[in-house]
A and B are shown apart, each in its own frame.
Chain A
Amino acid sequence: MRPEASHKTAKHDKLIICHVERLLRYIAGQHFIDQTGDSTYVLTHYSRALADPRLNHIFIFGSRFISPVFSNFPKFAADTNHHNPTNLLESNYQNRYGPGSSVFAIFKDDPELGTAFNDSMMSFALNKTSWTDIYPIDQIVSELKEGKPLVVDVGGGVGHDLERFRARYPDVPHGSLILQDLPDVAQQAQVQAPAITQAHDMFTPEPVKSAKVYFLHNILHDWPDDQSVEILRNVAKGMEKGYSRLLLNENVIPAKGSHPLATMMDMCMMMIFSSVERTEEHWRKLVARVPELKIVKIWAKLEAVESVLELELA
Chain B
Amino acid sequence: MVSNKTAELIAQLNKIDQSTIDDNEADVVAVKHALFAALRRVQSPFDTAMDVCWNNVAAESATRTLVNVGLFEKWVAKGGQPASGHELATMTGVDPELMGASRSLT
State the CA gap A265–B40 with chains docked (Å): 22
Q: Is the CB of B98 within 8 A of A82?
A: yes
Interface-facing stretch out of A44-52, A172-180, A196-204, A242-250 = A44-52
Between-chain CB contacts (< 8 Å), 21 pairs: A30-B52, A46-B40, A49-B45, A58-B46, A58-B49, A59-B49, A62-B53, A62-B54, A63-B53, A66-B58, A71-B60, A73-B62, A74-B61, A82-B92, A82-B94, A84-B97, A127-B44, A278-B103, A282-B102, A282-B103, A282-B105
Per the bound structure, the CA–CA distance linking A45 and B47 in Å amounts to 12
With A31-B36, A276-B103 in contact, is A46–B61 under 8 Å at CB?
Answer: no
B interface, CB within 8 angstroms of A: 1-2, 36-37, 39-41, 43-46, 48-50, 52-55, 57-58, 60-62, 64-65, 68-69, 92-95, 97-98, 102-103, 105-106
Interface SS, A side: helix
The reply to whether the CB of A105 lies closer than 8 angstroms to some CB of chain B is no
A84–B40 CA distance with the chains assembled, in angstroms? 34
Quote the shortest CB–CB distance from B67 to chain A (angstroms): 8
In the bound complex, residues from chain B placing their C-beta under 8 Å from that of A225 are: 105-106
Q: In this assembly, does A77 line the interface, its C-beta being within 8 Å of a C-beta of chain B?
A: yes
A123-B57 in contact (CB<8A): no
Minimum C-beta distance from A223 to chain B (A):
13
The reply to whether B57 and A46 form a contact with Cβ atoms under 8 Å apart is no
State whether the Cβ of A1 lies closer than 8 Å to any Cβ in chain B.
no
State the Cβ distance, A129 to closest chain B Cβ, in Å: 14
- Complex contact A46–B43 (CB within 8 A): yes
Q: Is A264 an interface residue (CB 8 A)?
A: yes
CA distance A59 to B93 in the complex (A): 36
Interface residues of A in 278-307 (CB under 8 A from B): 278-279, 281-282, 285-286, 289, 302
Q: When A44-B41, A82-B95, A282-B105 are in contact, do A73 and B65 touch as well, CB less than 8 Å? A: yes
Determine which of A30, A46, A66, A279 lies in contact with B54 in the assembled complex, contact meaning CB atoms within 8 Å: A66
Alpha-carbon distance A297/B98, docked complex (angstroms):
28
Residues of B within 8 A of A302 (CB): 1-2
Interface readout for A120-133 with B: 1 if CB under 8 Å, 0 if not?
Answer: 00010001000000
A31 and B40 contacting across the interface, CB-CB below 8 Å: yes
CA A123 to CA B52, docked complex, whole Å: 16
A49 CB, nearest partner CB in chain B, Å: 3
Contact of A123 among B46, B61, B103 (CB under 8 A): B46
Question: What is A's interface to B at a CB cutoff of 8 Å?
Answer: 30-32, 34, 44-46, 49-50, 55, 58-59, 61-63, 66-67, 70-71, 73-74, 77-78, 81-84, 123, 127, 225-226, 260-261, 264, 267, 271, 276, 278-279, 281-282, 285-286, 289, 302
Question: Could you tell me the distance between the alpha carbons of A271 and B57 in the complex, rounded to whole angstroms?
Answer: 12
Which residues of chain B are within 8 angstroms of A59 by Cβ–Cβ distance?
A: 49, 52-53
In the complex, the answer to whether A70 meets B53 with C-beta atoms within 8 Å is: no
Contact assessment for A264 and B50 in the assembled complex, using a CB-CB cutoff below 8 Å: yes
Q: Is the Cβ of A267 less than 8 Å from the Cβ of B58? A: yes
CB distance from B100 to the nearest CB of A (A): 8
Is A32 a contact partner of B105 (Cβ separation < 8 A)? no
Alpha-carbon gap, A276 to B97, bound state (A): 10
Contact A58 B53 (CB under 8 A): yes
A70 proximity list for chain B (CB < 8 A): 57-58, 60-61
**Once the chains bind, are B61 and A71 in contact (CB under 8 Å)?**
yes
Pairwise interchain contact A58-B94, C-beta atoms closer than 8 A: no
Contact in complex: B50, A74 (CB < 8 Å): no
Closest-by-CB residue of B relative to A72 is: B61
Q: Which of A44, A78, A302 has the most CB of B within 10 A?
A: A44
Set of chain A residues within 8 Å of B61, measured between Cβ atoms: 70-71, 73-74, 267, 271
**When chains A and B are docked, how far (Å) is the Cα of A126 from the Cα of B60?**
27
Q: How far is the CA of A58 from the CA of B69 in the complex (A)?
A: 31
Establish whether residues B65 and A74, one from each chain, have CB atoms under 8 Å apart when the complex forms.
yes
Given contacts A46-B40, A82-B94, contact A264 B53 (CB under 8 A): no
